[in-house]
Amino acid sequence: MRNVLHHIILILLLVMVWPPTVSALARTATPAPVIDEEYDRYKKKGDDFFREGKYLEARWQYENCLEVPGFENDPYALKQIETSAAGLALRQQVDEAMSQGKSQQVVDLLYQLLNLNPEDAITKNQFSDHYEREGNRLFNQGKLRDARNNYTTAIEFASANKAELLREQVRNIDQLLLPVYPKQTGLKAAAGSVAIGSMVTALVLHANYRSKLRALNQIGQSLDPNGTGIIDSPIEYREYDNAYAAANAAKKKQGLFTVFLGVAAVATAAEVYLFLHKPKPRPPALSWQPSSDSWGLAIRYSF
């Protein structure tokens, strides 16, 4: 019985002591990360160059990492050397495609570089320059909407300062795309003035003729009430003759009455037409356009 009790106590002690001991042994067996200042210095320089897109310089620094004792087969450095070599090869292909004017191939290769290294600052700048050049070319060809699309794409990859200049070009294109209607205030005013003036003149001429004719009839009735056609008094005859001459002169001006009435009608019709029909838009005389190089704007005036 005593032996059984001893065994039970021994088992309880083992259960209580064994787990902490195993954990301590496990912690002791886990290797601590190796820290080396020289390796870290090379690695940091390599990472900085890699983010900038300077793959040749980055590869040199990662190769230096492998020269540090204990890091001859460092997985991170080996992988970055391989990636830097791929980036360097793609960059050379981009330069060749640019020199040959292969625009679409340039775009495809730049996208491959960004897929390889999304932080590549040089590639982003090349993207921005490429789309800006395309925008300038299309702008000079008068393809404003296509130029605007290229400038907008360039903004996505541009630095802050350059992006603001590109936004200014986009705003200028937006202004150029707005329809500009020629001012017709002067034409409408002129047509209205002609219509009113002609109508007033026609009415004055007609009223003058009617007035002279009434005066002649009144004088005729007073001097020859019986309608015999004979006026005995020379003075009265002279009065009648003057009235007749005035009425006859006013009658001759009735032709002008018809002319002015027609002019008034035409001017009124012209004013109505100008009011109902909007003029076709025309391009503005003063416009902004990109300069021949990759930066800045130029101004032109068209007649």
| pLDDT higher at 221 or 95 | 95
- Residue positions counted in the chain: 303
Strand (E) or helix (H) holding 290: strand 286-290
pLDDT bracket for residue 101 (50, 70, 90)? confident
pLDDT bracket for residue 246 (50, 70, 90)? confident
Residue bearing tokens 């009223």? 207
* pLDDT over 50 (residue 76): yes
Assess contact for 154 and 126: CB atoms under 8 A. no
| pLDDT higher at 277 or 146 | 146
Residue bearing tokens 């329809």? 179
Closest Cα partner for 288 from 280, 300, 279? 300
Assess contact for 286 and 191: CB atoms under 8 A. no
pLDDT bracket for residue 9 (50, 70, 90)? low
* pLDDT over 70 (residue 59): yes
* pLDDT over 70 (residue 29): no
pLDDT of residue 301: 41
Instruction: Give every CB contact of residue 143 below 8 A, 6+ residues apart in sequence.
Output: none
pLDDT bracket for residue 66 (50, 70, 90)? very high
CATH number of 37-177: 1.25.40.10
Amino acid at 49: F
**174-178, 196-200, 259-263: least confidently modelled range:** 259-263
pLDDT bracket for residue 45 (50, 70, 90)? very high
Closest Cα partner for 147 from 155, 136, 160, 156? 136
Distance CA 177, CA 5 (A): 100
* pLDDT over 80 (residue 178): yes
Max avg pLDDT among 4-8, 34-38, 145-149: 145-149
Got the DSSP string for 232-290? --HHHHHHHHHHHHHHHHHHHTHHHHHHHHHHHHHHHHHHHHHHHSPPPP---SEEEEE
Distance CA 151, CA 157 (A): 10
Assess contact for 120 and 87: CB atoms under 8 A. yes
How much is the average pLDDT of 80-87? 95
Assess contact for 261 and 202: CB atoms under 8 A. yes
* pLDDT over 50 (residue 25): no
- Estimate the crossing angle of helix 160-177 against helix 121-140, to 10 degrees: 20
Distance CA 20, CA 167 (A): 66
Distance CA 244, CA 204 (A): 19
Closest Cα partner for 227 from 236, 217, 235? 217
Distance CA 276, CA 213 (A): 42
How does DSSP classify residue 297?
A: E
Whether the full predicted model's pTM is greater than 0.85, yes or no, is no
